[in-house]
Amino acid sequence: MKMFERITFAPDVMGGKPCIRGMRVTVGTIIGLIASGISKKEILDAYPYLEDEDIRAALEYAAWRVEEIELPLEVA
C-alpha cells in the first residue's frame, strides 16, 4: 500500500502541486478551507466529487509534510 494513495502530483495538473486523485483540487485548497472554519460537510457539498477519505488524506499529507525538513544541496 502506497503511503498517500489519494495524493497525486502531475506537472500538467495545477502546476505539479499535490492534488486529490488527479483532480484540480489541491491539498492546499482543502487545508485552507478547513483552516478558515469550513466544515467537512460543507467541503463535500461544495465539491461533490470529493470523498470523506480525500479530506482525511489531505490532512494526513499536510501533517506529514510540515514534519519534513528540506536541506539545501551543497554545490561542490
Which residues are registered as beta bridge partners of 18? none
Residue given cell 490532512 in the structure block: 59
CB contact set of 74 (below 8 Å; sequence gap of 6+): none
pTM as predicted: 0.83
Question: What are the sequence ranges of the domains in the chain?
Answer: 7-61
Longest Cα pair distance anywhere in the chain, in angstroms? 52
The residue among 3 and 16 whose pLDDT is bigger is 16
Res. 2 pLDDT band, cuts 50 70 90: low
Q: Percentage of the chain surpassing pLDDT 70?
A: 97
Query: Which string of DSSP letters, residue by residue, matches 21-68?
Result: TTSS-BHHHHHHHHHTT--HHHHHHHSTT--HHHHHHHHHHHHHHHH-
| CATH dotted code for 7-61 | 1.10.10.10
pLDDT, tens digit, 9 for 90 and up, residues 16-48: 999 999 999 999 999 999 999 999 999 999 999
pLDDT in the model for residue 72: 80
